[in-house]
């Protein structure tokens, strides 16, 4: 059995992001939402995600911005975020293992939970 290495470089982050979003794009539930929203802007989105994860995992100030607002109006609910996390975890677990990998999964889970609750809150407030 192959021993998986941890996420340690920007190349690892690019591999993680590219393979994750490759799986997202093919998913029957969340793929159409991402593909409709991003259309031909996948490349800038992926670059933004490389920077985001580099900032989160390596404490390198590559990303600045607020990630929630672009997601606020998406037609998603908890089911979509649960699928997002399932795809994220299975994608990352097939490629990496170690403390930084676990940190990435924890951060993604926390972000999905927060986004899901904030979207629900704004919907309930009519905002």
Q: Is 74 exposed, middle or buried (0-12, 13-18, 19+ CB in 10 A)?
A: middle
Q: Which of 11, 8, 12 minimizes the C-alpha distance to 95?
A: 12
Q: What is the pLDDT of residues 33-81, one digit of tens each?
A: 999 989 889 999 999 999 999 999 998 888 777 777 776 777 888 999 9
Token pair for residue 39? 């259309």
Token pair for residue 16? 């993680």
Q: What is the pTM of this model?
A: 0.89
104: pLDDT strictly greater than 90: yes
3-state secondary structure of 125: coil
Q: Is residue 72 within 8 Å of 119, Cβ to Cβ?
A: yes
pLDDT for 1: 60
């Amino acid at each position: 059995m192959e021993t998986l290495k941890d996420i340690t470089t920007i190349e690892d982050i690019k591999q993680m992001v590219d393979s994750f979003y490759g799986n997202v794009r093919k998913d029957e539930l969340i793929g159409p939402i991402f593909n409709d929203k991003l259309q031909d802007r996948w490349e800038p989105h992926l670059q933004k995600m490389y920077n985001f994860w580099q900032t989160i995992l390596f404490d390198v100030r590559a990303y600045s911005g607020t990630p929630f607002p672009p997601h606020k109006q998406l037609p998603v609910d908890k089911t979509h975020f649960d699928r997002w996390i399932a795809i994220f975890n299975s994608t990352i677990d097939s490629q990496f293992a170690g403390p930084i990998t676990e940190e990435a999964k924890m951060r993604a889970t926390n972000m999905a939970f927060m986004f899901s609750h904030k979207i629900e809150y704004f919907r309930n407030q009519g905002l």
